[in-house]
Amino acid sequence: MPEQNELRYTAEHEWVLVDGTTATIGITAYAAAQLGDIVYLDLPDAGTEVSGGTVVGEIESTKSVGELFAPVDGTVLEKNSAVGDSPELVNSDPLGEGWLLKVEFSALPPLLSFDEYSALIGE
């Protein structure tokens, strides 16, 4: 599991772990807690082109339905099939086994640091 200060964040409560030209993407622990028990995820398949800032999926919880936004432009390399089978992983381990997508990107847009994200959520 990555350290929180190794990650970058979006204002839409997603985290991004950069490794070369691959961005692993998930939702933050804060977002998972706000959503409540996650019961369903609709994620794009490998090979899907995504554009930063656009809706690419859906997260359904016992409280509400939320949208998943692409934080980068690129091509989906992999979606986490484990969260498709066990969506509760997003609640129990949002920064580890609960990751959602891996996307190959060509340029990284400005993202928030841990301190900037903490200020955004008031922590």
Q: pLDDT tens digit string along 1-59?
A: 666 668 999 999 999 999 999 999 999 999 999 999 999 999 999 999 999 999 999 99
Per-residue pLDDT tens digits for 70-79: 999 999 999 9
pLDDT of residue 93: 95
pLDDT greater than 90 at residue 107: no
Long-range contacts of 48-52 (CB under 8 A, 24+ apart): 48/75, 48/76, 49/74, 49/75, 49/76, 50/74, 50/75, 50/76, 50/103, 52/109
Q: Write down all domains in the chain, each with its CATH number in brackets.
A: 4-111 (2.40.50.100)
pLDDT of residue 123: 83
pLDDT of residue 26: 96
Q: Helix, strand or coil for residue 77? A: strand
